[in-house]
Amino acid sequence: MPDAAELLYLWHTYRLPVLLAAVAVFALVRLTLRARGKREKTATIPPPGSPGPLSKDVKDGGWPDVLGDSREGKDEVVSVSEQPPTRAKAGPKRVTGVIRTKTSPSRDAGFDLTRDELQPLLFFSSLSGTTEKAASKLVADLQASTEAAPNVLPPKLLDLAYIDYDDYFIAPPKTSSEKRSIKYFYLIAIPTYNIDTVLDNFLEHLRETHHDFRIDTAPLSALLGYSVFGFGNKEGWPTEAEGFCSQAKEADKWMAKLTGRKRAFPLGMGDVNGDAAERFDEWGMGVEDVIRDISAGRGLGEGVPGSGDAVESDEEDVEDAQDSEGDTQAQPKVQRPKKRADLGDLEDLGRSVQKDPSSAPITIDFTTYSSSKKPTPVVKEMVPKSSPTYTALTKQGYTIVGSHSGVKICRWTKSALRGRGSCYKYSFYGIKSHLCMETTPSLSCSNKCVFCWRHGTNPVGTTWRWQVDPPEAIYAGVTAGHYRKIKMMKGVPGVRAERFAEAMRIRHCALSLVGEPIFYPHINEFTALLHADRISSFLVCNAQHPDQLAALKPVTQLYVSIDASNKESLRKIDRPLHRDFWERFTRCLDILRAKRLTQRTVFRLTLVKGFNIDDEAEGYADLVARGLPCFVEVKGVTYCGTSTSAAAGLTMQNVPFYGEVCAFVDALVAALARRSLDPPYGIAAEHAHSCCVLIASTRFLKPDGWHTTIDYDRFFDCLRAGTAFAPEDYMGPPTPEWALWGNGGFDPRDERVDRKGRPKGPQSVPVGGGGGRVLEVA
Ligand SMILES: Cc1cc2nc3c(=O)[nH]c(=O)nc-3n(C[C@H](O)[C@H](O)[C@H](O)COP(=O)(O)O)c2cc1C
Ligand code: SF4
């Protein structure tokens, strides 16, 4: 044991390092304790976004207080991801990120008074005019009431039938100006139709955009706000549960998701047989107020995200989870409380409440739609008799067969009956127009081509979701409809008796009327019925359904429409509904390439000046090199002069002159020659008076000239034999002299007449085969 003197000696020797070490340890302990204390304090702040029942704390000031403080200017940033799990339970949604509370976007709506301009856009859809009329009036009223506001631009009216949804509903339109920037406010006024209309595509587009994992969760959040109004009819749909204004409700729901819940004014609904005018006026005044508020820098106010009402936003997210069910592509954006997904069944909900008496009361949010059981979907008719589509198509001369097929006699059939000329298919392939039936088993299609004058009246969709009629019934219906129309020609002056008699036996079928024939699920059975009656089949498809195309059995001649040479141009001209339209398109070309060895394949190019001609010859040549079709038909677009085509941006200026079509054909053939394809292509025939030229593979060039025609009997015999055969096996006799390139393509045995039926004397028809040579036609 050391004695006291020794201890004293040690102390004097080591006291300095001992004291220093003690001070250091003390300081370290203090620092650690202080740091821990700070974290615990932060953790008492509840998480944002509370979808579930509001706890007493929260109601009494817990969570709103936090917002309240911050609204007063405390520039607080809360790292929500640091919340302990127990807090997360109280507010089931777990969000990562920060809340910038000082400049909450809802308070100022993202509108900078110094440089922003507010552009109201009113989107509408209307079949019978009610909505259009109301929307036009609202635009005029809005303009008058906001004229004085220097930063509000005149409102614009946009028809959902004619706009490209991608331009407005994937992101707001782009604006560029150094000094000013345009911010958009969306108004949507739509009716509801429980039949297929353009509204189904619009809603589908919104839904798809929301579920598209490549697109931001709220791609329209840059909008200043939005509001929807619906027109419906309570006579047929008395309550919302029975479908009153159901499509407006759906539009409102998707817009809430896409904008990050920027519903600036509640969804309005009006009964066309009752209060529609009054409700619409009310809604109009409401949105006017909102626009005025935003433009004065007062923002969107309470009830929208960030303004303090978190209930609405989370309810919509829960519904989102339900919407995603079965959608394998949809990525859950936030973790959602599982229990909430079961809200659909109220009985179960009642039971669960009884089982757990301590459970908190359920919040009821009247702004959302997720709490009722979804009705079992009823498979609808594509074109029901009561629909405006039916009325429009029958007015245009179609006979609607069953619920999704149509037949019509074309102008060439009538012309041929009177000996006034057949269509280009007669010149190129020997099809007599008066023996031809034009039909489709699917009036619906998946494009909204700018040159399609039926756009707006024919139903459109990406998948078949309608009732399916049996092929036998369609066959019986369309042939009966065709014969009935032929019979009606009996008394028409000029109809030739022998042709009339011949016409009572259909020999050819053009599956190309309107819509997309291979959309019909039993297309193979349908063409088998045609072939069994020795009726040839020319089937045109729009290159958007590769699986159906691959599964298609041989037809006499298989077409794909090639409306553009590149993705961007195709998007503009065909306005496809499929997002992966280009991949679908190129897959179809590959399928056609394989099919060229077993049947005649054709690329049909429709030239539209200003859309798909300029500088595109090389691109088209690449597509031909990829698909190697037997034939390439090049045709100038036909202008129908309707308001519909004008609305789609088409005028007479877009119709190419025949000389321009010929020049394009020359350029295309030269581009093909540069690709050294084997066998090469050449210009075979023309039909000058319908502005059409035929480029053919030299597989159809024999020592005695082009053989573009078809031996139809041989085709049916090949089919019946059941063994493999090639297009060369049913090649017809030489193409007639008068149809060859440079000779015009009009059968001299027919009579040429002008529009009024007066015989045309020898006159000039520009023909191909030498740069606009002029032919004397008798
Ligand atoms: C075929 C058809 C189906 C309809 N379906 C519904 C419906 O499901 N729910 C509804 O509220 N109104 C429905 N309506 C009523 C229309 O939405 C209402 O007449 C509306 O005003 C039409 O607007 P528009 O003429 O501007 O296109 C339907 C009307 C028709 C002709
Ligand atoms: S594919 Fe035919 S029917 Fe369909 S939109 Fe285009 S032109 Fe019209």
Could you tell me which residues are beta bridge partners of residue 380?
466
pLDDT over 90, % of the chain: 46
pLDDT over 70, % of the chain: 74
Ligand 2, closest atom to CA 574? 6
What does the alpha-carbon distance between residue 254 and residue 170 come to, in Å, rounded to a whole number? 12
Q: 103 or 243: whose pLDDT is higher?
A: 243
- Cβ of residue 644 lying under 6 Å from some atom of ligand 1: no
Q: 637 or 367: whose pLDDT is higher?
A: 637
Ligand 1, closest atom to CA 126? 27
In CATH, what class is 388-767?
A: alpha beta
- Show the tokens assigned to 697: 């593979």
Nearest-CA residue for atom 1 of ligand 1 = 387
State the burial class of residue 347 (Cβ atoms within 10 Å of its Cβ: 0-12, 13-18, 19+).
exposed
| Other beta carbons within 10 Å of 777 | 18
Over residues 716-728, the pLDDT tens digits come to 999 999 999 999 9
Residue indicated by tokens 């729901």? 253
User: How does DSSP classify residue 394?
Assistant: H
Give me the mean pLDDT over the 627-641 stretch. 88
Over residues 284-337, the pLDDT tens digits come to 998 998 898 888 888 776 545 433 232 333 344 434 433 433 333 333 333 333
Q: Which residues contact 146 (CB under 8 A, 6 or more apart)?
A: 120, 152, 155, 288, 291, 292, 295
Q: What CATH number does domain 116-295 carry, 3.40.50.360, 3.40.1360.10, 3.40.50.720, 3.30.365.10? A: 3.40.50.360
CA 555 to ligand 2 centroid distance, Å: 20
Record the pTM.
Answer: 0.62
State the burial class of residue 173 (Cβ atoms within 10 Å of its Cβ: 0-12, 13-18, 19+).
exposed
Whether 14 shows a pLDDT value over 80: the answer reads yes
- Show the tokens assigned to 384: 């029901």
CA 515 to ligand 2 centroid distance, Å: 6
State the number of CA atoms in the 13 A half-sphere of 387 facing the CB. 22
**Confidence class for position 654, pLDDT limits 50, 70, 90:** confident
DSSP alpha helices (H): ranges in 171-229?
A: 198-211
CA 193 to ligand 1 centroid distance, Å: 5
- Cβ of residue 539 lying under 6 Å from some atom of ligand 2: no
Over residues 348-403, the pLDDT tens digits come to 333 333 334 333 333 333 334 444 455 566 788 898 898 888 888 888 888 999 99
* Ligand 2 pocket test, candidate residues 383, 438, 440, 542, most atoms within 8 A of CB: 542
CA 200 to ligand 1 centroid distance, Å: 13
ipTM above 0.90, yes or no: no
* Ligand 1 pocket test, candidate residues 138, 199, 231, most atoms within 8 A of CB: 231
Cα-Cα-Cα-Cα torsion 564, 567, 568, 573, nearest 10 degrees, comes to 40
- Cβ of residue 443 lying under 6 Å from some atom of ligand 2: no
Nearest-CA residue for atom 6 of ligand 2 = 449
Q: Please, what is the Cα angle at 155 between 150 and 273, to 5 degrees?
A: 135
CA 321 to ligand 1 centroid distance, Å: 30
Ligand 2, closest atom to CA 458? 3
Nearest-CA residue for atom 7 of ligand 2 = 452
Task: State residue 652's pLDDT score.
Answer: 81
Backbone angles phi, psi at 696, to 5 degrees: -130, 155
CA 49 to ligand 2 centroid distance, Å: 47
CA distances from 433 to 374, 501, 596 (A): 51, 14, 25
Q: Which residues contact 66 (CB under 8 A, 6 or more apart)?
A: 45, 46, 76, 78
CA 357 to ligand 2 centroid distance, Å: 60
**Confidence class for position 81, pLDDT limits 50, 70, 90:** very low
User: How does DSSP classify residue 22?
Assistant: H
Ligand 2, closest atom to CA 445? 4
- Cβ of residue 231 lying under 6 Å from some atom of ligand 1: yes
Q: What residue type is assigned to position 459 of the chain?
A: P
Backbone angles phi, psi at 594, to 5 degrees: -70, -35
CA 512 to ligand 2 centroid distance, Å: 9
Ligand 1, closest atom to CA 131? 26
Q: Which of 112, 135, 111 is nearest to 287 (CA)?
A: 135
CA 448 to ligand 2 centroid distance, Å: 6
- Judged by phi (left if over 0) then psi (alpha if -120 to 50, else beta), residue 345 lies in beta
| Average pLDDT along the chain | 78
CA 560 to ligand 2 centroid distance, Å: 12
CA 477 to ligand 2 centroid distance, Å: 23
State the burial class of residue 29 (Cβ atoms within 10 Å of its Cβ: 0-12, 13-18, 19+).
exposed
- Cβ of residue 393 lying under 6 Å from some atom of ligand 2: no
- Cβ of residue 445 lying under 6 Å from some atom of ligand 2: yes
Ligand 1, closest atom to CA 386? 1
Backbone angles phi, psi at 464, to 5 degrees: -80, 120
- Cβ of residue 389 lying under 6 Å from some atom of ligand 1: no
- Cβ of residue 460 lying under 6 Å from some atom of ligand 2: no
- Cβ of residue 468 lying under 6 Å from some atom of ligand 1: no
State the burial class of residue 329 (Cβ atoms within 10 Å of its Cβ: 0-12, 13-18, 19+).
exposed
Most confident of 176-185, 356-365, 645-654, 670-679: 670-679
Over residues 414-430, the pLDDT tens digits come to 999 988 888 999 999 99
Over residues 517-565, the pLDDT tens digits come to 998 999 999 999 999 999 999 999 989 999 999 999 999 999 999 988 9
- Show the tokens assigned to 415: 């012309």
Give me the mean pLDDT over the 176-204 stretch. 88
Ligand nearest to the CA of 541: 2
CA 575 to ligand 2 centroid distance, Å: 10
**Confidence class for position 640, pLDDT limits 50, 70, 90:** low
Over residues 690-749, the pLDDT tens digits come to 899 999 999 999 999 999 999 999 999 999 999 999 999 999 999 999 999 999 888 887
Give me the mean pLDDT over the 565-571 stretch. 89
Q: Which of 694, 699, 687, 692 is nearest to 730 (CA)?
A: 699
CA 735 to ligand 2 centroid distance, Å: 30
CA 231 to ligand 1 centroid distance, Å: 7
Ligand nearest to the CA of 232: 1
Q: Where are the domains of the chain?
A: 116-295, 388-767
What does the alpha-carbon distance between residue 664 and residue 648 come to, in Å, rounded to a whole number? 24
Q: 29-38, 169-178, 268-277: which range is least confident on average?
A: 29-38
Query: Cβ distance 267 to 229 under 8 Å?
Result: yes
| Other beta carbons within 10 Å of 209 | 21
Backbone angles phi, psi at 65, to 5 degrees: -60, -40
- Cβ of residue 447 lying under 6 Å from some atom of ligand 2: yes
State the burial class of residue 212 (Cβ atoms within 10 Å of its Cβ: 0-12, 13-18, 19+).
middle
